[in-house]
Amino acid sequence: GLVLDAEGFLRCLGRFQNLALSEGSRMPKLLPAKSHFTKLVIEQVHRDILHSGVSQTLAEATGRNSEDL
């Protein structure tokens, strides 16, 4: 399921919800595909990993704790 957090982000509820992890790991933020903010996040990750490519950028962006966004 999906929930709206206190900051207005949609978060995904799933199988990690009951684990002893941070909220960002248990309930990741969902970013809209066509938003300017999402584009900025992806561009920053791409630069952070030294322009490694699409699949590496996606893996890094989805693996980062959503609290870092």
One digit per residue, the tens of pLDDT, for the chain of length 69 reads: 899 999 898 998 888 888 888 887 888 888 889 999 999 999 999 999 999 999 999 889 888 766 666
Return the sign of the alpha-carbon dihedral for residues 47, 52, 53, 54. Answer: negative
Return the sign of the alpha-carbon dihedral for residues 46, 52, 58, 62. Answer: negative
pTM of the predicted structure, to 2 decimals = 0.71
